Structure 1
Amino acid sequence: MSLSRRGFLKLSAAMAGAGALGAAGCQNDGTTAEAKRVVVIGGGFGGATAAKYVKLFDPDVDVTMIDGKASHTTCPFSNLVIGGLKEIDEITHDFTALQKRGVNVVKGWVAGIDPEARSVTLEDGRSFEYDRLVVSPGIDFDFDAVEGLTPEIAETTIPHAWQAGEQTLLLRRQLEAMPDGGTFILGAPPNPFRCPPGPYERVSLIANYFKNHKPNAKILVLDPKTKFSKEPLFREGWTANYGNMIEWIGGDFGGGVTKVDVDTMTVTAGGTEYQGDVINVIPPQKAGKIAHVAGLTDETGWCPINTGTYESTIHAGIHVVGDACIGSPLPKSGFAANSQAKNCAAAIVAMFHNESPPEPSWVNTCYSLVAPDYGISVAAVYRVEDGKTVSVEGAGGVSPLGGENAEAEAGYARDWYASITEDIWGS
C-alpha cells in the first residue's frame, strides 16, 4: 500500500471531519421522505453523528434526538482534564449546531421503547413515534463484579470516571489533594470495554501531573488482562518520561480488582491487599441501561446487530451504534462510533427511498497521549467480507517504537479531537 502511516493518520483525522464515508451512495434522489421519522437516543459520538447525518443525507426526514443532558462531555480527552491539562468545559459540547441543522433536540431520560408500536416514552410521560430508531446509549457498569463497590461509592469516594462529568472532576480533586509520596491505584476493567487504550493513557497523564507536582508519588495499575492495547508503546513511553513511577500488575499475577474497602482505602487483587491514597476502579462494562430495558442485549450484555446497517437482530426497525453494539473487530471508541453512525445514517436513508444500503466501510484511529508532547496511536480500516466485518490488511498500523514520531502524533491527537468534535457538534 503506497499510503504511509503518517499520511494515513492525517487522512483519517481529516475523514472524521469530512464525513467521507460513501455519502454519494445515499444522496437524495429527488424522492421525499417527509413522512419518515427518525428518533435517536443519545447525544454522544454515535447518537449525535447519526442525527446530523440522517438530516444531512435527506433534509426531509424528521429527526428527533433525545438526551438526558443539555450537552455532552466526551470521554476522549477527559484524561487531560484529570491530568490538569484541560478544563472540563473544553471537552463539553452542546447541541445548538444540531438544532440549527433542523434536528429536534429533546432533553429527557428515556424510560422505555415499544418496538411493536414503534414509540419511545420518556420518564416525564412524553412519547415519540418513529419509523426508524437509533439507540446509542453508551455503557453501563457491572458493580456486582467488585465486592464493596457501588454506584454511590463511585460518586463519592472511588470514582470510575469512565463517563466524563462530575466523577472526572472528583478524581482530579482527589489527585490534587493527595500527598507527595502517596500512591494512586487504578483498577483496569476486563475486555470488552470502552476505549481499550483509555486506562493506560489515564495513568500516563496522571504520571505527568505527579512528575510536575508530586514527584515522589507512585502509580499502581491492577489489571485482569495479561496484555493491553499498545502495551510496548506505553511501556516505552512510561520509561522514557516517568522512570519507574508506574507499576503494572497483570492477570498472570492476579492483577484484577475483586474487592474494595472504602474505610481502609484498600483494594484486593489476586488475594493480595493494596492500600492507596487515591483509588480509581473501572468496573466491568455492558451496554447502557436503556438497551437492557428495551431487550436489545444478548447474554454478553451487549447489542447484536446486522453488519453494515446496524439494525438490531432482536428488534426490527431499531439500530444500535457506538459502544453498546457488538461491532467487533471495531473497538469501542469515539472514532468507531462516529464511523458506525455515518454508515447507519446512510443505510436508513437508503431504506426510506427503497434503495439498497451502500456498501459500508469504517475507519478507526485510537490516539493516546503518554505525555503532553508524546503521542502514540493504532489505526485500522475495516470492510465487509462474506458478511463479516474484517480489518483491511496493510491499512493503518501502530506507531513505531523509538518515539521518533511521538511529538508529531501528539499534534495529530489534538487535531483529531478538534476535527471530530467539529464534525459532530460543530457549526
Structure 2
Amino acid sequence: MAHADLSKSSLSRRDWLTQALGLLSVAAAPSLSFAAGTARIVIVGGGVGGATTAKYLKLFNPSLKVTVIEKNPVYVRPYGSSEVLNQHATMDELQVSYDALRSTYGINFVFDTVTGFDPVARTVNTAGRQKIAYDRLVVSPGIQLLYENYAGYSESVARTAVPSGWIPGEQTALLAKQLQGMRQGGTFVIAAPPNPYRCPPGPYERAALMTEWFAKHNPTAKVIIVDPKDSFVTDQTMMLGWNRLYKFNLPTDYVQKMQDQVEVKQHSGTSMLSWVRGKDGGRTLKIDSKNMRIETEAETIKADVINVIPPMRAGQVAMTLGLADGSGFCPVDRRTFASTLQPNVHVIGDACIADAMPKSGFSANNQAKVVARAIVEELAGRSAPEPLWENTCYALAGKDYGLFVADVFKIVDGKITRINTKQRYLPLSATPAQIKLGARYQQAWLRTFTADCFT
C-alpha cells in the first residue's frame, strides 16, 4: 500500500500482509462449480461495503445472481467530502456511478427502499412493492445520525440552519455555502461526536482544512472544536500538524508524551484553531439555531457557523430488519460477519460490531471481501477461511500535510484484534518530504479506492 513508503515498519507490515493474503488466496480459492446460476445473493445498500461485496462475489463466482437494492441511483462518497468545504473538490466530484458494476460484472440494481423481509421465506420487501428472493442476504446500511440526542437539534434544523454533512449531500453543500460566506472574523464551531462514529480522524481533518482555508480568505476567523472525548485517532500527528501550520499550542499532557520524539513549539498569541476536550467541558448539550449558539458543559458559544456531528447508530434498515441490538449496532460472527440475530444474513461496514476495527470505508471494503469469499465457500460446501483484515485511514492537517493510521487485524479469543505492534501512525519525526508524500498518497487513495469498490 502507498503509505508503506513512509516508514520501515510500515513496509515490513505491508510485506507481511501481502504474503499472508497471498497464501490465504491460494489455500482457499473458491470453486466456480456451485450450482451455476441458482444461488441468489441480495445486497441491501450500495455504498462501499455493498458495492465491494457485489463486485467480489462476481469475481469469485461469476455464475452467482447478485442483486443490489439501493435507494439512490448515484452514490455520493463520504470519504474526502470535507474537501468540498475548502473548495478542493466539488459536489459533482463526490458522485460515483454504478454503471461499471452493471456492465462489467452483470450485477443487477434495484433502486428502491427496503421495508422489511421474511427470514423464513428468504424474501426482501421494498417500498415499490417488490418481493426479492435470496439465498444469502448481505446488509451494508451505513449509519444514521441521532440528531435528537442534543436539545434543540433535529434533522430539520440540520437541513436548514445547522448542518451536519456527515452523510454527504444537501447538508454538505449548505455547510460549504455557510463557511465560504462567513463574515470576516466570524467563528466556526465543530461539535465532534462521541465514540463510536464513522471516520475517526474526520472531524479533526475538517477543522484543519477550514483553518487553512480561513487563513487565506478570512484570516481573523476562529475555528473551535468542542469534543466529548479527551483524545482521538491520529491525535498526536494531527495536532503536531496544527502546531506547525496554525500555531496551535498542544495541551501540556500531549507535549510531555511527545517531547522525547519531536520538538513541539510553544507559540505566543492565540491560534485560529482551538480544541475543547471532554475533561475541559467540551461535551455538547444544546443547539440554539435561532441565535446560533451552542451550549457545552463548560460554556455557551456564540457562532456564525455551527457544524454538529451527532452520535450515530446503524442505518435505519438495520433496525427495520431486526439486525441491531441495544447498542444500536449489529452483532455478527467475527469470522463470516453473519448476523447473530437473523439467519442467512451478513452485516458489514459502519453498522456492524467489529471490535477493534474502526468504522471506515477501508474497513467496510475489507469486510466485504471477507464476506464475499465466505459466502462462496459456504455455498460450495466448504468452511470459510480464517480472515485477516487491514485498515488505513488517511487524513490531512493541511492540503500538503498528510498523515495516516494503519492497522492489521485478526481474530484473537473470539474478537477482532489489532495485531500490529509497531508504528501505526506517520512517525512524529517524519521529514517534510514524507509528510508531503502522505498528502499525495491520500489523493491517490481516493481514486484507487473508489475504483476498487465501483469499477
Q: Which interval holds the TM-score relative to the shorter structure?
A: over 0.9
Question: Mean Cα displacement is larger for which, 301-310 or 24-33?
Answer: 24-33
State the alpha-carbon separation in 2 of the partners of residues 63 and 11 from structure 1.
32
Q: Distance in 2 between matches of 1:373 and 1:20?
A: 37
Q: After TM superposition, list the pairs within 5 Å mapping 1:46-65 onto structure 2.
A: 46-65=49-68
Cα 1:238/1:4, change in 2 over 3 Å = closer
CA RMSD of aligned residues (A): 2.2
Is the counterpart of residue 191 in structure 1 residue 218 in structure 2? no
Number of positions where the alignment pairs a residue of Structure 1 with one of Structure 2: 423
2:186 aligned to which of 175, 178, 182: 182
Bigger radius of gyration among the two:
2
- The Cα of 1:390 is off from its aligned counterpart by 1.3
Correspondence 1:242-253 to 2 at 5 A:
242-243=246-247, 244-253=271-280
The 5 A counterparts of 1:149-168 are 149-168=153-172
Report 1:24-35 matches (<5 A): 25-35=28-38
State whether structure 2 residue 102 is matched by structure 1 residue 99: yes
Give yes or no for the alignment of 1:226 onto 2:230.
yes
Distance apart, 1:117 and its partner CA: 2.0
State the Cα deviation string for residues 2-27 of structure 1 (Å, max 9, x = none).
99557549959x98xx9997376242
Match of 1:414 in 2: 443
Closer, same or farther: CA 168–132 of 1 in aligned 2, 3 Å: same
Q: Which amino acid in 2 is paired with 1:158?
A: V
Q: Tell me which residue corresponds to 1:360.
A: 387
Conserved in 2, the CA contact under 8 Å of 1:5 and 1:396?
Answer: no
What does residue 388 of structure 1 align with? 415
Letter in 2 for 1:302: F
For 1:70 and 1:236, the matched residues in 2 are separated by: 41
Distance 1:184 1:403, change over 3 A: farther
Matches of 1:415 and 1:39, distance apart in 2: 31
1:3-14 matches, cutoff 5 A? 4-5=7-8, 8=11, 11=14
Pairwise CA distance, 1:61: 0.7
Q: Which residue of 2 aligns with 1:117?
A: 121
For residues 22-421 of structure 1, the aligned pairs below 5 Å read: 22=25, 25-100=28-103, 101-243=105-247, 244-270=271-297, 272-394=299-421, 397-404=424-431, 405-421=434-450
Q: CA deviation at 1:96?
A: 0.5
TM-aligned CA distance change 1:213 to 1:310, over 3 Å: same
2:262 aligned residue: none
Per-residue CA deviation, residues 244-276 of structure 1 (Å, 9 max, x unaligned), is: 111100100110111001111001000521111
SS in 1 for 2:416: strand
Deviations along 1:329-369, one digit per CA (max 9) or x if unpaired, are 00000000000000000000111101111111100011101
SS in 2 for 1:398: coil
Distance in 2 of aligned mates of 1:39 and 1:388: 27
Deviations 1:100-130 (A, max 9, x none): 1110011111111222221111111112111
| Alpha-carbon offset, residue 403 of structure 1 | 4.7
Give the Å deviation of 1:51: 0.8
Aligned partner letter, 1:49: T
Output the CA distance in 1 between the equivalents of 2:389 and 2:428. 26
In structure 1, runs of 5+ residues without a counterpart are none
What's the CA shift for 1:33? 4.1
Amino acid across the alignment from 1:61: L
Q: Which moved more, 1:402-411 or 1:377-386?
A: 402-411
| TM-score, with structure 1 as normaliser | 0.94
Could you tell me how far 1:29 is from its partner in structure 2?
Answer: 4.6
Runs of 4+ in 1 over 4 A off after TM superposition: 1-7, 9-12, 18-21
Same amino acid, percent of matched pairs: 40
Q: Per-residue displacement from partner, 1:295-337 (whole Å, max 9, x unpaired)?
A: 1001100000000200000001010000000012000000000
CA distance in 1, matches of 2:27, 2:6: 23
Residue 2 to residue 199, structure 1, CA distance change in 2 (3 Å): closer
Q: Which moved more, 1:238-247 or 1:259-268?
A: 238-247
8 A contact 1:19–1:342 mirrored in 2: no
Amino acid at match of 1:370: A
CA, structure 1 residues 29+38, in 2 after alignment: closer, same or farther (shift >3 Å)? closer
Amino acid at match of 2:401: Y
- Output the CA distance in 2 between the equivalents of 1:366 and 1:5: 18
Distance change >3 Å, CA 255–CA 86, structure 1 → 2: same
- SS of residue matched to 1:354: coil
**Taking structure 1 as reference, are residues 10 and 75 closer, same or farther at Cα in structure 2, changes over 3 Å only?**
farther
How far did residue 417 of structure 1 move? 1.5
CA distance in 2, matches of 1:214, 1:57: 52
Q: 1:19 to 1:142 in 2, by over 3 A?
A: farther
Shift of 1:71: 1.4
Greater Cα offset, 406-415 or 189-198: 406-415
Q: In 2, Cα distance between the equivalents of 1:20 and 1:105? A: 33
**Which sections of structure 2, spanning at least 5 residues, go unmatched?**
248-270
Report the Cα offset of residue 91 of structure 1: 2.2
